[in-house]
Amino acid sequence: MSKKDWWRGAVIYQIYPRSFMDSNGDGIGDLKGITSRLPYVADLGVDGIWLSPFFKSPMKDFGYDVSDYRAVDPLFGTLADFDELLATAHRLGLKVIIDQVLNHTSDQHVWFKESLQSRDNPKANWYVWADPKPDGTPPNNWPSVFGGPAWTFNARRGQYYMHSFLSSQPDLNFHCPEMQDALFDDCRFWLGKGVDGFRLDAINHCYHDSHLRDNPARPWTQTTSTQLDFPAPYAMQTHIYSKSRPENLALMERIQRLCDEYGAMTLGEIGADNANELAAQYTAPGRLNTCYSFSLLGGRKVKLTAAFIKNAVMDFFREGPDSWPSWAFSNHDVVRSASRFAPEGNPDPRLAKMLIALLCCLRGTPFLYQGEELGLPEAQLAYEDLQDPWGIALWPEWQGRDGCRTPIPWDSSNRHAGFTSAHKTWLPVPPCHIGLNVENQQSDRDSVLSFTQQFLKQRKYLPALIRGDIAFIDTGREDILAFTRTSEGQTVSCAFNLGETDQTYNGDMLPPYGYRLQTKAL
């Protein structure tokens, strides 16, 4: 990989700091804990890590509500701890991408505390404020992703402020140049420290319609971007005015120019029904390096079929033939893939292995979520153990995002599987995860972990899988996915059995969740 575009085809490992490793015995993962486990991450064969937020925050949305963009939250450690983590990762040959949550801040951020004081203070326009309708109701019909209106009334200003997510996460006003300049200065702080890139959270939310027009209605069954399998207000609108605005494209160009100054990469997160179309727009020349969407992450009880994979990939390249995508089957916001794609939700290590191979054979940059390399299933939690405000609000219809955020099981040394020495963890380690701990799997040549290490190291010697073109083959069967990856001098033919029974393809027997790679020099 060249130094400039090292991210093309690189495998990135996502770390959710609260749940990776606790170093100080408080039951919550931290930066020193991550640093202590970086040799394990490097040994997986990945090229870099993405760290979910560790910034100072009241933790109403567990770090995605930032109160100080330049400070490490004491829960996770100090700036010196981050510097040590960064230096250790680089010494091990790992790139480091960090989250940047630009759409909104915490309501505890000093900017918002000043903004709400009056309508004419220096930061009055740094957030999205609007007058009530004559009857006192919110300015328009926009809902919050997490339920309820996207507007909360503030008595001091006599106005509503907008929040795409929790009411404690007010949206920044990107129509305000002074705010943008201050936000970019905060980004420079981390680039100056030497981070290798930004993952841009909810980046298509940044701009809103300045006229605050109502979103049109849409039957909730037509949406593809939600995880929920029951009606929710957010899924009942087409969000043409509250997000994904045309003005956002110029913002993508400004972000990319900033990161280019430091040789850092950009990864956009896009949540929308037209995600592939937006991703292509956002990664056009001069804009972001790459984007990922929920096309392989979200949806309601998606069945793993050849068409599901093929359509997502082909849709992206149809919209942006020269763009570079990123793909993921799991992250901190969705049901773990080992459960989501399993029939009846029953995990199977053969499926977990095949999903890792499939993800890392697609054209693009694959992102593995911590625990995916162990084949961890979704944890089922009791109501009293829930922490996610979204899940608490929707219980018992949905438990929220906590089921994919439970601590990593490292060994069987204590009841928390080696994650912490604390009496209690912030989320419990589910009993079904303890036997899948890292120590056990490292000594088992047939484990998901051993497979992941072997496959990723093999992949480094197959340039066609890293940067090659992709061409799908019509197998005529929903449970057989086949395609070729071709680069200069090499073609790799890939065939995957997505089903639970033996299948024959081109004369070869593919066992349940089996696959075949054939390499040919050109």
**Residues acting as catalytic residues:** 201, 261
Specify burial of residue 75 (Cβ count, 10 A radius: 0-12, 13-18, 19+): buried
Residue given tokens 């740094």 in the structure block: 126
SS3 state at 266: strand
Residue given tokens 């082909």 in the structure block: 314
Computed from CA positions of residues 144, 279, 351, 341, in that sequence, does the dihedral angle turn out positive or negative?
A: positive
SS3 state at 195: coil
What are residue 15's DSSP bridge partners?
51
- Please choose, from the candidates 302, 283, 286, 284, the residue with its C-alpha nearest in 3D space to the C-alpha of residue 294: 302
Concatenating the DSSP letter of every residue in 313-378 gives: HHHHHHH-TT--BEEES--TTS--HHHHTSGGG---HHHHHHHHHHHTTSSSEEEEETTGGGTPPP
The reply to whether omega before 396 is within 30° of 0 (cis) is yes
Q: Cβ distance 418 to 410 under 8 Å?
A: yes
Quote the CA–CA distance of 357 and 514 in Å, as a whole number: 10
Quote the CA–CA distance of 61 and 83 in Å, as a whole number: 25
Quote the CA–CA distance of 418 and 145 in Å, as a whole number: 35
Lookup: tokens for 195: 């981070």
- Please choose, from the candidates 102, 234, 76, 219, the residue with its C-alpha nearest in 3D space to the C-alpha of residue 169: 102
Quote the CA–CA distance of 16 and 189 in Å, as a whole number: 22
Pairing of strands 365-369, 326-328: parallel
Quote the CA–CA distance of 336 and 375 in Å, as a whole number: 9
Quote the CA–CA distance of 362 and 483 in Å, as a whole number: 9
CA atoms within 13 A on the CB side of 434: 11
